[in-house]
């Protein structure tokens, strides 16, 4: 079995945000689903946070450093009597936790130009009964290039 242990900055950003949401006392233990691949079944009264990678693009390469832009999707789902209102109110908290985490990453690891692009009530391929409020975050970061092959 291969022993892959080095992760990309993209995964580290994704994991930091998902982990912060999982631990956030403000969310009172609302479950966090990472990169869902199938329909999400919720019971009446359930809440859920979804974190999903959307894209990672090379924006510039100079010497041994790549500048990249990673798009992270963070959604708040409520299956309640007042689902639209509840999903929106929960998303205010989710956005604060995500912004705080990404800002801490920027200070500690040179992640920069954090931009919340849009907030929408929809995400393709995530089927739910209830309401969804979704944010798309563009996170710019740098990573050294790696040479593969014989040395």
Strand arrangement of the beta sheet that strand 65-78 belongs to: 32-34, 47-62, 65-78, 131-144, 112-120
Torsional sign, CA 114, 118, 122, 123: negative
Is residue 40 a part of any domain in this protein?
yes
Integer Cα distance of 130 and 118 in angstroms: 20
Structural domain contains residue 150: no
Entry pTM = 0.84
Task: Give me 66's structure tokens.
Answer: 């790549």
Residue 150 has a pLDDT of 41
How does pLDDT run across 9-22, given as a tens digit for each residue? 889 889 999 999 99
| 73 lies in some domain | yes
Output the domain CATH number for residue 49: 3.30.2000.10
Give the chain's domain count. 1
Whether 22 maps to a domain, the answer reads yes
Instruction: Tell me the per-residue pLDDT of 60-94, one tens digit each, with 9 for 90 and over.
Output: 998 888 888 889 999 999 999 999 999 999 999 99
CA 49, 55, 59 angle in degrees (round to 5)? Answer: 140
Q: What is the largest CA-CA distance in the chain?
A: 62
Range of the domain at 69: 9-144
| Of 70, 88, 77, nearest in space to 17 by CA | 70
The CA-based angle 44-73-76, given to 5 degrees, is 20
DSSP state of 99: H
């Amino acid at each position: 079995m291969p022993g892959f242990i080095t992760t990309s900055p993209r995964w580290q950003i994704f994991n930091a945000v998902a982990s912060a949401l999982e631990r956030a006392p403000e969310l009172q233990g609302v479950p966090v689903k990472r990169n869902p691949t199938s329909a999400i079944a919720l019971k009446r009264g359930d809440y859920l946070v979804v974190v999903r990678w959307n894209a990672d693009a090379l924006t510039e390469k100079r010497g041994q450093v790549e500048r990249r832009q990673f798009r992270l999707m963070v959604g708040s789902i409520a299956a309640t009597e007042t689902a639209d209102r509840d999903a929106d109110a929960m998303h205010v908290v989710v956005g604060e936790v995500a912004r705080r985490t990404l800002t801490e990453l920027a200070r500690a690891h040179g992640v920069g130009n954090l931009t919340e692009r849009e907030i929408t009530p929809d995400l393709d391929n995530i089927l739910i009964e209830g309401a969804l409020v979704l944010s798309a975050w563009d996170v710019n970061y740098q990573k050294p290039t790696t040479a593969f092959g014989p040395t």
